Amino acid sequence: MSGAIAKAFARAKARGEGALVAYGMAGDPDLPRSVDVFTAMVEGGADIVEVGVAFSDPIADGPVIQGAAERALKAGSTLKRVLDEVVPELHRRCPETPLVIMTYVNVIMAMGEERFAKLARERGVSGVILPDLPPEESGSLRATFDASGVDLIPLCAPTTPPARAEAIAKDARGFVYCVAVSGVTGMRAELPADLSQRLELVRKASPMPVVAGFGISTAEQAHTLSAHADGVVVGSALVRAAHAEGPQAARALCAEIKRGLKR
């Protein structure tokens, strides 16, 4: 298991904060400048960076990340290039920050599970999130990742029944990604009323930290959730800010969310 992810959560906890998992799209607007965006997120206080790798048919994503994926593909982003050009440079600039790849299962399959796991490990990737890979389909991939020491981070959804959520949590690697809303990625004005209960249920069952993601974009939301989770994921809001105003906007938004995460 990746020690880097556990250490990042422990460091945040020791400072009395929830952890911020910050998502960006590798290759948006192009590969080198996306490294600047990721670096700015870490400077703004991100504890873990989720490196999005674009896929042409992103069924779990809303319009903001979909748009970013289209731009990244046009800029020539591929999984291979992200592992060669984004991850090593980001790892060099932010050696303490765990990097987690987020993409779709077809992108990994095309490279080959074993080849990806080996490259990911060599380049310093700590974990992988695949939103279209439910536990039933993850057997072989997870065995490959386990053998390489790369965490396959599972997702729980609002529609996941309690027994299934507990099973997912018990068997988690890295952390458990609790999807906050029934829907695709993107900012929401309101989060569901029963979210805190669901987070507590997963937290009780999980040996790993639990984070909430999808729909979270403000310091207030982060503050509310940090009472029930070990951290939050912010994606679309950061992608939108970076696209509109560049790295400094992503840095500022991370800093603001981090203030909300203070307990």
Partner 1 sequence: MNTQTAVGRFGRFGGRYVPETLVPALMELEEAYAAARADPTFDAEVAQVLREFVGRPTTLTPARRLTEAWGGAHVWLKREDLAHTGAHKINNTVGQVLLARRMGKKRIIAETGAGQHGVATATACALFGLPCEVFMGALDVERQALNVFRMRALGAVVRPVESGSRTLKDAMNEAMRTWVSQVSDTHYVIGSAAGPHPYPTVVRDFQAIIGRELRTQAQAAFGKLPDAIVACVGGGSNAIGVLHPFIGDPSVRLIGVEAGGHGLDSGQHGASLTLGTEGVLHGSRSLVLQDADGQIQEAHSISAGLDYPGVGPELAHLAKTGRMEVRTATDDEALASFYEVARLEGILPALETSHAFARGRELARELGAGKYLVINCSGRGDKDVATISARGVPPAVGVKP
Q: Which residues bind partner 1 (CB under 8 A)?
A: 55-62, 66, 70, 73, 78-80, 104-111, 131-134, 136-137, 155-161, 164, 168, 179, 182-184
Least separation in angstroms between residue 168's CB and partner 1 is 8
Dist. CA 77–CA 55, nearest whole Å: 10
CB atoms within 10 A of CB 161: 8
C-beta separation of 127 from 100 below 8 A: yes
Dist. CA 257–CA 241, nearest whole Å: 13
Instruction: Give 219: exposed, middle or buried? Use CB within 10 Å, 0-12, 13-18, 19+.
Output: middle
Please, which residues have CB within 8 angstroms of residue 60's CB and are 6 or more apart in sequence? Answer: 104, 131, 132, 184, 185
- Please pick, among 17, 36, 47, 61, the residue that the annotation labels catalytic: 61
C-beta separation of 40 from 186 below 8 A: no
Least separation in angstroms between residue 143's CB and partner 1 is 17
β partners of residue 155:
177
- Please pick, among 17, 28, 36, 50, the residue that the annotation labels catalytic: 50
Least separation in angstroms between residue 96's CB and partner 1 is 30
Dist. CA 149–CA 134, nearest whole Å: 20
Please, which residues have CB within 8 angstroms of residue 54's CB and are 6 or more apart in sequence? Answer: 25, 26, 27, 28, 68, 69, 70, 72, 73, 77, 103
Least separation in angstroms between residue 70's CB and partner 1 is 8
Q: Residue 77 or 97: which CB sits closer to partner 1?
A: 77
Q: Residue 14 or 163: which CB sits closer to partner 1?
A: 163
C-beta separation of 50 from 235 below 8 A: yes
| 238: nearest Cα among 37, 32, 6 | 37
Clarify whether 50 is annotated catalytic: yes
Least separation in angstroms between residue 73's CB and partner 1 is 7
Least separation in angstroms between residue 46's CB and partner 1 is 24
Task: Dig out the tokens for 180 from the structure.
Answer: 């906050």
Clarify whether 61 is annotated catalytic: yes
Catalytic sites, residue numbers? 50, 61
